[in-house]
Amino acid sequence: MITLALAKGRTADDSIKLLEQAGIHFDHLNSKSRKLVFYDTAGMVKLIFVKALDVPTYVENGAADMGIVGKDNIMESQADIYEILDLKLGRCKFAVAGFNGTHPSNNNVLTVASKYPAVAEKHFHKKKIPINTIKLNGSVELAPLIGLADVIVDIVETGNTLRENGLTILEEMDSVSTRLIVNKASFTTKSESVHKMIHTLQTGLE
């Protein structure tokens, strides 16, 4: 049996739909349930629901053989896993955002608020711009509004949250979408089941 970790949150419903499309069915499975473990009707898959940022951690440590999670969380976790498939769900992008006219390089030490401090630090380090990072867990757009940070690094999907808070994209970064990831050991030791699962999900995508 394959243990598959699924990210709770914004992409959970689409991921469940994809599993169903691929012919992997679960009884009473929906993202609103408080239950965290489900088994598919064919007895092939144990599905566990975890916080999105924890999916790469579960997979890296072998607590799950595979995971379905956004590229944003894979990048932030820096986990040592195989990224196998782009499931093309939850498409958005990383961006530096703030008030129009804020130029990151004009300040000496820029204060950056983000749910993704590792991504933010890597981005500005590459540009040789020193930053102070403030880790937040949500409502990140508030940070420039109340003077907690100069800019934010966050994912942008429709752009509504930025617009409604008077902020704008200052710099576009990497594209993000949901990916299928695999534990490195499971890829070899459970090769047959893992490849069957990859193939099944690929079929669900077509």
Q: Minimum CB separation from ligand PRP for residue 118, in Å? A: 15
Residues of the shown chain interacting with ligand PRP in the complex, contacts defined by CB under 6 A: 10, 138-141, 154-161
- Quote the radius of gyration of the chain (alpha carbons, Å): 19
Q: Minimum CB separation from ligand PRP for residue 56, in Å? A: 17
Q: Minimum CB separation from ligand PRP for residue 24, in Å? A: 26
The residues that bridge with 46 in the sheet, in sequence order, are 3, 39
Residue whose entry in the numeric block shows the structure tokens 């990072």: 133
Q: For residue 47, give the amino acid letter.
A: L
Cα distance between residue 107 and residue 119, in whole Å: 20
Q: Minimum CB separation from ligand PRP for residue 54, in Å? A: 15
Q: By C-beta, is 16 or 156 nearer to ligand PRP?
A: 156
Q: By C-beta, is 43 or 138 nearer to ligand PRP?
A: 138
| DSSP conformational letter for 40 | B
Q: By C-beta, is 60 or 141 nearer to ligand PRP?
A: 141
Pairing of strands 151-156, 178-182: unpaired
